[in-house]
């Protein structure tokens, strides 16, 4: 049979066709009125997509560059900071703050779990300058309660900035930066905005901009104040990948158009964002229902499952790498193995961005075939169990 390569990974994600066309036509110089108009519009749209009135800056880097920029711009050597680590990317926060000379208090919970607010409260100190956390930990499929963490910082009258890696959270999770009091929210291009890797973006609160005036960790390329100053003129401090900016503009237009009405044919980006998130939530719920019906176990605790990606434990005695390879060899479907200590123990199916009902039904059907071909030890398995569960859930969600 013909096989089409399909990405079911938490980044890079499938590309939006309109964004691909925009990239192909992007031959604009980055210091021209045409590009300034495009870039100004994209920066404004990003505010709506992130749900903020704060200034947004764009960097030519993967999301890790934006994570580094948030540390280098908002801390000084010797600052006490709090890192909430529950997976591979929480560990990245720990490494970053230590590399920039911060004194890191780390709350580390096992992979697959989330944080207890009492733990965070006990770890907060008067001198804590910043709290670093993921919105969703894509290595484990767990969603952290960012609103509750933000409310805790307010209740404790903490001066700590709340810095959130929402690289897989934006576009898959309902986040309200301004209402909750998040100080920095980070996104990446290869996620819910459905374009290739190469851009990261940060929304930065007024409180965080003020903090930058008093910090003195080294920064040059990732100087956020420099980017903010240039963005006000529709420019970047350094050369941006013009094609990716064009692609981002096309993607944000597409997201807005999902909420188009006869009165507003261009749509509304905030409403389109909500629809994008609800789509991810539905696809994830269908996948969880299917996995459970097939006799597989989910890794994330109930109530804290991320819509970005579903982490499924391999049956006991089975290497999840075998399952990942079977998806690719049989169907050219790319799913991901576990990371770090969970490699070989779980596989992950993503729902970020350009996925829909048809894609979800297809990957569940493929999962049933993989179970059969690899002879996974699921004694009650029969074809159709997962698909029936997913179809039933979808019908209930869309009544």
Predicted pLDDT at 88 = 95
Give the pLDDT band of residue 289 (cuts 50, 70, 90): very high
Q: How much is the average pLDDT of 121-143? A: 97
3-state secondary structure of 349: strand
Q: How much is the average pLDDT of 171-198? A: 98
- For the purposes of burial, counting CB atoms within 10 Å of the CB of 252, is it exposed (0-12), middle (13-18) or buried (19 or more)? buried
Predicted pLDDT at 258 = 96
Output Rg (C-alpha) for the chain, integer angstroms: 21
Distance, in Å, from the CA atom of 222 to the CA atom of 72, rounded to the nearest integer, reads 8
Q: What is the full DSSP assignment across 62-126?
A: -HHHHHHHHHHHH--TT-EEEEEESSHHHHHHHHHHHHTT-EEEEEE--TT----HHHHHHH--T
When the pLDDT of each residue in the chain is averaged and rounded to a whole number, the result is 97
- Structural domains of the chain ordered from first start: 6-12+270-397 (3.90.1150.10), 17-253 (3.40.640.10)
Q: How much is the average pLDDT of 292-296? A: 98
> Which residues are CB-neighbours of 254 under 8 A, at least 6 positions away?
16, 18, 19, 194
Distance, in Å, from the CA atom of 310 to the CA atom of 363, rounded to the nearest integer, reads 12
Give the pLDDT band of residue 45 (cuts 50, 70, 90): very high
Residue 37 DSSP symbol: H
Contact 86, 134 (CB under 8 A): yes
Predicted pLDDT at 372 = 97
Other Cβ atoms within 10 Å of 126 Cβ, number: 10
The better pLDDT of the pair 265, 102 is held by: 102
Other Cβ atoms within 10 Å of 194 Cβ, number: 29
Say yes or no to pLDDT of 398 above 90: no
State the pTM of this model: 0.96
Say yes or no to pLDDT of 378 above 90: yes
Predicted pLDDT at 399 = 80
Give the pLDDT band of residue 5 (cuts 50, 70, 90): very high
Q: How much is the average pLDDT of 193-199? A: 98
- Between strands 336-337 and 333-334, the pairing is unpaired
Predicted pLDDT at 217 = 97
Distance, in Å, from the CA atom of 161 to the CA atom of 58, rounded to the nearest integer, reads 20
Q: How much is the average pLDDT of 63-85? A: 98
- Between strands 55-59 and 80-85, the pairing is unpaired
Tokens of 264: 């507003």
- For the purposes of burial, counting CB atoms within 10 Å of the CB of 108, is it exposed (0-12), middle (13-18) or buried (19 or more)? middle
Quick: pLDDT tens for 89-126.
Answer: 999 999 999 999 999 999 999 999 999 999 999 999 99
Say yes or no to pLDDT of 1 above 90: no
Per the omega criterion (within 30 degrees of 0), is the bond before 219 cis? no
- Rounded to 10 deg, the angle between the 269-293 and 242-257 helix axes is 80
Quick: pLDDT tens for 217-245.
Answer: 999 999 999 999 999 999 999 999 999 99
> Which residues are CB-neighbours of 73 under 8 A, at least 6 positions away?
212, 215, 217, 219, 222, 223, 224, 225
Say yes or no to pLDDT of 296 above 90: yes
Say yes or no to pLDDT of 397 above 90: no
Give the pLDDT band of residue 205 (cuts 50, 70, 90): very high
């Amino acid at each position: 049979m013909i096989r089409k390569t399909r990405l079911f990974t938490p980044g890079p994600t499938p590309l939006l066709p309109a964004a691909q066309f925009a990239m192909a036509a992007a031959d604009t110089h980055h210091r021209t009125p045409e590009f300034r108009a495009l870039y100004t519009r994209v920066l404004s749209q990003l505010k709506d997509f992130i749900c903020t009135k704060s200034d947004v800056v764009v960097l030519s880097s993967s999301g890790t560059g934006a994570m580094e920029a948030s540390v280098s711009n908002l801390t000084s050597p010797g600052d006490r900071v709090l890192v909430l680590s529950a997976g591979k990317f929480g560990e990245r926060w720990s490494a970053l703050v230590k590399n920039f000379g911060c004194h890191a208090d780390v709350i580390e919970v096992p992979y697959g779990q989330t944080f207890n607010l009492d733990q965070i409260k006990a770890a907060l100190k008067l001198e804590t300058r910043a709290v670093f956390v993921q919105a969703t930990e894509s290595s484990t499929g767990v969603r952290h309660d960012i609103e509750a963490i933000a409310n805790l910082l307010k209740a404790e009258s903490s001066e700590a900035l709340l810095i959130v890696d929402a690289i897989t959270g934006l576009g898959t999770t309902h986040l309200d930066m301004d209402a909750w009091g998040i100080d920095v929210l980070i996104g990446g291009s290869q996620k819910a905005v459905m374009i290739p890797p190469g851009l990261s973006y940060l929304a930065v609160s007024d409180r965080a901009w003020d903090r930058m005036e008093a910090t003195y960790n080294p920064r040059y390329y990732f100087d956020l104040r420099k980017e903010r100053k240039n963005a006000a003129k529709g420019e970047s401090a350094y050369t941006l990948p013009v094609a990716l900016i064009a692609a981002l503009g096309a993607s944000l237009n597409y997201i807005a158009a999902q909420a188009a009405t006869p009165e507003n044919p261009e749509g509304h980006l905030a409403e389109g964002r909500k629809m994008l998130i609800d789509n991810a939530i539905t696809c994830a719920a269908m996948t969880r229902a299917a996995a459970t019906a097939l006799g597989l176990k989910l890794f994330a605790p109930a109530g804290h499952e991320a819509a970005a990606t579903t982490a499924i434990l391999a049956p006991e005695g089975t290497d999840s790498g075998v399952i990942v390879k079977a998806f690719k060899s049989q169907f050219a479907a790319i799913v991901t193995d576990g990371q770090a200590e969970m490699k070989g123990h779980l596989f992950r199916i993503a729902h970020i961005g350009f996925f829909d009902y048809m894609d979800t039904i297809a990957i569940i059907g493929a999962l049933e075939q993989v179970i059969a071909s690899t002879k996974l030890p699921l004694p009650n398995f029969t074809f159709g169990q997962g698909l029936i569960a997913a179809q039933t859930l979808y019908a209930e969600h869309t009544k």
